Amino acid sequence: MKEHLIFYDADCDFCHKAVLQIIKADEEMLFAFSSLEGETASEILVGPNAHYAKENSLVLVEAYESDKRRYWIRSKAAFRIYWLMGSLWIGWLCFLPAWMVDWAYRLVAKHRHRLHFGWERPEFQNDRFLP
């Protein structure tokens, strides 16, 4: 179904692990994925939305194939992903003001390249990944 698109840092082991967790939880296959540095990002994150590609953050584009796209970044994107998957127990946090929750997201994001805990980076060979 792939209604929404998640951009992530393809050079980050922690980000790969997060994508893998989303894929496992996304039973309805609502999400497609692409690298922030990829072709799809250069096509979608343009014009007034070009700054999202430079935010050093997870970026969620709701309804990415329509003209009614909604963009979410940092903790708002992460919690909105849960909301869209029906995980209301954590998804409701997407409705909190960003200043209340982004401090924790920024802290993890700042150190994410060091957060790998010996994880092996999975190779994503899946039709859910856009170039």
Instruction: Look at residue 85 in the predicted model and tell me its pLDDT.
Output: 86
Give the number of other Cβ atoms within 10 Å of residue 1's Cβ.
Answer: 9
DSSP structure class, residue 123? P
For residue range 47-56, list pLDDT tens digits in order.
899 988 887 7
Domains of the chain: which residue ranges?
4-114
Q: Is 59 left (phi over 0), alpha (psi -120 to 50) or beta?
A: beta
**Residues of the chain with confidence (pLDDT) below 50:** none
Question: What tokens appear for 113 in the block?
Answer: 């390249």
For residue range 5-17, list pLDDT tens digits in order.
999 988 777 777 7
Question: How far is it, in rounded angstroms, from Cα 40 to Cα 67?
Answer: 16
